[in-house]
Each structure stands twice: as C-alpha cells, then as structure tokens.
Structure 1
Amino acid sequence: MDADTADTTDIAEFAEPSAERPPAAVPVDWAAVEAWLGTRLPGDYRRLADRYGPLDFGRFLWIHVPCAQDGRFDYGDWLRAIHRETRIARRELPAGEHRPVHPEPGGLLAWGYTRATDVLFWDTSVSADPDAWTVVVRHRDGVPGGTPAPWQAYDLTLTAYLRQAVRADPDPAAPVRPLPGVFGRTAFLPAAAPWTPPEPVPPRLTEGERRVALETGTGLDALRLLTPPPARPHLGDGDWERTSGALGLALPGEYVRLMETYGAGCWNRWLCFPPPLGAPGRDLATHAEEILAGYEVLRADDPEDFPLVTWPRPGGFLPFAHTVEGDHLGWLTTGDDPDAWPLTVWPRHADQGPPLEQGLTDTLLRWQRGRLSTAGLYALDEEDDPVECARFTPWPGRAD
C-alpha cells in the first residue's frame, strides 16, 4: 500500500479476534480527542478503535486508544508520560538525529507499546495528511534481526505495520518477529471506559508567586506555596509524646512541623511519609523496626555494601519515609540534638552515599524545585515545569 493512500483494511482480514478475550469497542469522541491533541488522527486508527477498542495484538504489542480505567490507564496521562520519556531519550542521539516529539511540529506521536518496552509512534512529519503517517519504533533492545539501532523508521502505516507483523515468512528486515495472528481486549483494561480530555487549567501561581516558590522563597513557607498541603493533615490517632517514648528519643522539630503541616502522604507520587502517630504496632517506631530488620539481614551478609549502623544504636540510621521503589530516607541519630541530625538516603539500586547537605524542609524544597540529584530521589528533567510536577497526595483514604 502506498503511504499516501488511506488504508481501509480491517485487521480481521489478516488476524483473528481472540475467543478468550474478545475485543470490545469503547466510544470515542474524536472531535474532542483531536482538539486536545491539536491534530487529526489516521483514519485506519480511528476505525480500529471504533470497532475493537484497546487491543493486545499478536500477544506482543498493545494498541492504546483513547480510553480510561480507574487506577490502570488514562490515555492522556500515558501520552504525556511516554512523550516526556521520549524527549529525554532523544538526547542520547547525535544532535543531527534528534526527532521532535508531539506537540512539537512534526513530532512523534505515540500509539502503542510492546511487552519488550518498545514504543510505537507515528512520524507526523512525513505528511500533512494523517493517513500517510508512517511508523517509527523505539526498540529498547535493537532492531529485530538487525543492528542494535534504538530508533527505526518503517515505511509502513499502522495497518501495514500490523499486517507485516503477522507475516508467515521470517524476513529479517521486517519490523518485528512473526507474531500470532490474533488480537483481543487488552487484559489489564477489562473495564475500559470512554476518555474525556482534561479541561485547560489556568496557571496555579502568578509570575511573582513562581519566583518565590522556585527561586527566592525559603523554608516551609516556600514549600507550602510550591506544594500546597491538605486542609486536614493526617498524622494518626496517637500523639508525639507516645511516639517519642516508643522510639526512646525526641524527634527533630523540623520533622514535627512538616508533618503537622502536610501529614502522611506521598510527594510527587514518589516519596511517601507514613502516619507517624498510628496506634501501637502501626506507628513510626514499628515502621522503622520493620525496615531496619531487613537492613540488618543484608548487612550481615554484605557489610561493605550496607555500612550504616542502625537505630537504636548510637548514631544509628532511623528511617521515616520511603519511595515507591523501596529507597528509604532517614536520620543518622548522632549527638544529643535531634535538630542537628543529618539526613541520608538508603538507596535500593545504588551504593550508599554520604549524608545530605541540608535539613528536611530544604531538602524537599530543593528536590521539588528540580535542584537535587541524589540516588533514591528521582530528578526532574530539564524540560519539566517544577510547579506542574510538584504535588502532595494525602495518605490513602485521607484526601481531605
């Protein structure tokens, strides 16, 4: 098929619907979707979505269509995340090979993902006619049967690419290994529902407030402006005196003030502070004991890679927060003044580093501003807007 000719082929002509997970359409408001994207979409993709909904094709690649399922998938969030990751990844290419990414003019626009974590895009630069857009794939492990080039352009539209993927002949130059000629509803989206594009959101901060939040402000006041706290922080049902008694030491005043402002919850969907004042067995002391019991097992086997002395030993590491990847933030309880305890991160996927240079509030503020780079706390990309990225999500069930 010529790229400049609209492909009206139904994928059922070269693949069969799954009997186990039959495809099912999800209504799409294409006018709203295309207005949100700022571009029309290829006709073969629209027809596929209207007939079949979100698809698992060839038991290898997922074709993502505008839909949503609570807690599992949101089309807009997926596009934003994939395009952000792509903008970062393209910096690995020589300067002359950088590809624009949607919404940049002629940018790559994602439509699929594989079990090998390859990402499938349209190259919108090839034509003003979406029906002529061809496929570009970011191959994480190199081109199948070829050289390990991570980015590969194919002179195939979406439907032509899928047809080629289920070919019978093992052509090494083809885009993917031969796939089973079957397609069905995406398994992790059994209850996919229509997706509604988000309404435009006005800037949360004025230019003056942005300067304070990102540059000139300090301490808890600047942190509150950058990352608004909940109206009613959740700490637990106990009190600080009982928690300090269980720990056998006083807690840093900075931590107490921060928790009384924000309560338990997660920062940037990454760094989570559990409730410090839970009932006995669910408080900060119990949290620390459980984490450190695991650390001591690791330290017994490999003291060089796990060098921290742990609480309640003098100067021991006392964790109070963790990341979604299993890193832990805590104090080194050195000396008699809790407000002078240095912070450190026990990183799950890196060697133990030195203590952090600043206290808890300033560390959070630097991290939220995108100015802190340390193992265990992910860094913002240079193209991210810290104000848009900064968020605090209260502990589950405590969204008030």
Structure 2
Amino acid sequence: MTEEQMVEYITAHGGEIYIVGGWIRDKLAGKMPKDKDYVLCKMREIDFCMLFPDAKKVGRAFPVYLLEVDGKKCEIAFARRELKHGHGYKGFTVSYNEDIAIEDDLFRRDSRMNSIAFKLPEKIIIDPFSGGEDIKNKIICATSIHFQEDPVRALRAARQAAEFDFTIEEATVKQMKECGAELRGEPAERIMNELSRALSAQTPSVFFRYLKKAALLDIVFPEIAALAGQTQPCFYHPEGDSFEHTMLILDTVAASTDDAAVRFAALCHDLGKGLTPQNMLPHHYGHEKSGIIALDRWHKRMTLPSHWYYGASFTIREHMRAARLVKFGKIVDLLIAIEKNPLGADGFCTIISADNKMLPAYLKNIHLILELFHSIDMEKRPAFLKGKQIGEWLREQRVDVLASYIKNMNI
C-alpha cells in the first residue's frame, strides 16, 4: 500500500493522519528524513481495523499498529493524552478516542522540536509550540511540565544535544534535574539504549557533560561521575582532571571511528582514576587494576554488550603499558593479544594514539608485523616438539621476526 492510498482511505472515512517525530524534525533541519511514524485522529480503533485488516497491533497501553506503507513497516499510533499517577515511564493513565486533537498529542511529547506534526494530504505543518524555531536556533526546550514525567527524557535530551550539536535551554536543564529520583528506578535497558545512541553521536562528550550539569551523571553513570575532580599531573594532562581527559579522548576517538565498542573502551580507559584515594592525587598508580573493579561494578548494575565489556577491560589493563614496552617478548605477547581482543588492532591503536598523542613504532606497523608472524612456517618446527613446546617455539620465532624487523627498519 502506498502512503497516498492509506491517506485516502483514512480521510474518506473522516479521519486525520499526521507524520510526527524525527521525520518532520529532520526535514525541517535540512537533513535526510528516515522512518516515518504516524498519528491518527478522529477515528475509532474498530473502524481503523476494518479499513486495514492486515495492520498488526503492537501497543499495549494504547493502540499502536504496524502497517506496511511504501514497502516499509510503519507505526500508526492513535492520538492520546497521558495523566501521570505513578513512577517511571509506566506510571501513566492513557486516554485515546476520536475527540483527541493532534495538538493534545503533541503537548504530551518531550521537546518542542519533537512536538511538530505534518498533516496529510494537505502537507501542512502543525507547530503549536514553535518547535521549528528551536530547530532553527539549535536549542532543545521542553514542551511542557510533562517533560519530567518520564525520567528517561532527561537522558534523551542530553543524547539529542550530542547527536544534533544543539544546546539545552536552562529551564529544561532544571527539569532534567527533577528527573533524578525516578531515574534511579528506571530499567537498565532504557538507560543502556540512550547510552548506546549517545556513543554513536557526533560528539558523545556532550551527553555526559549535560548529565553532569543536570546532576544526573552520578545517578546514571557513577563510574564516569567519579572522575570529576580527580586531578592529574599538569605536565601530562593540561586539559584538566580525569573527567576532562576522558571526554577529550572520547571525542578524539569518536572523530576517527564510528565503532561504539571502541568509543566505549575510550570512555572507560581511565575508569580506575575515579577510585584513586585523595591522598595519592595527582598520581593514579595502579589505576589499570582499579579500573577493572569499576568496570565490573558498571557491568553488574547494567549488563553491557559482551564485546563492549571485553574490549573495555582489555583497554583498561593494557593502555598504560602499550607505550612503554621495550622487551621483544612482551611486545610479541601484547601484539597477539591485541589481534584477538574484540576491538581489533585498529580500534585499540586508535585509543592509544589519542591517549598518548602518538603510537610506538611497533603499533604503527602492527598489521605488517602481524602478517610476518602469520607467515612463519609451522612445518619447520622440530618434529620432537609436543603440546606446549610448540607454542613456546612459535613465540621464539615471533620474537626473532620482530627483532629482525625492528633492526632492519632502524626503529
């Protein structure tokens, strides 16, 4: 079914259909719009089901249907009002009927830039809260006091600021602060969703900075919040404390890779500095060990994707020694471990380069060195070697290969 046909069926039976959400927001921002979501007004659910018998109901608290439009599965939601009566995102009473206008539905939404509708077939923009002006001015403003009724909206505002390079108005930051108490009880899956999307943003540090400004960082991501105020030696870290350093490395890595696992590892590389005792500052001896403790706490509280967890733990353990190794045997062991870690050689080296502002020679040439390792002819190993001895022989060969390569390259 085409969109034109769907609209014709609905309007012929007295209904009104609107495109809402990210599609109209992106269109007004001059970006390529993505998936369309629709809101339906002035139609009973029973009549909709008679018109579109193939539509699949997916909403529980209120009617949301999936319908194939122009070859894509699209959401069609009935316009609704919400009344807060409990805690969290489930603490709502929802009302929907054919008398609810599109303006009522837009009023319950989070920010003014997301409270815009596009009426079909007339192609009229319905913007009762001046969200178009917010998009033009690159600012995020809460639509109403309803913003703080779903606490995860605070995370969404911070994430969208990072995604779109927008600022958040001060009054909305104050509403974000009001979400703190309820955020403590939110499902980890909702927090994880916002974190994942924030790490994919153009400038992910903006997400964490706004949460810090709204006094939410220590509630949602206490391991990152603990980095604030943890001083570092100025000679090595003129950018400031451990939080500032982490944000700098995160954005530097984000500029080089879209891989969320690598970005997460960059975020976590100095996690142990948040556990450094005050009497040890500005030094952080052993933070590569305490960092694993902090990461494990995070993982226990909010189950992380396995490749995120193992990539971050590898980076925490190895990021300090990677730039300091000189013994060929230890370098060989690390190179093999780097190749096997979930981030891959490029991901790990991207973090080390950002953190140290350079790479040691063996990491600059890691792919070539690994190729030389793989070219070692196992058929030439002595026939009497068994089991563990074969691995020891192979390591010796790799050490010889590395030594020869470095000598020939005058590294």
So what's the TM-score if we normalise by structure 2? 0.26
Structure having the higher helix fraction is: 2
TM-score, length of structure 1 as denominator length: 0.26
Q: Give the number of the structure with larger relative contact order, counting CA–CA contacts within 8 Å between residues 6 or more apart.
A: 1
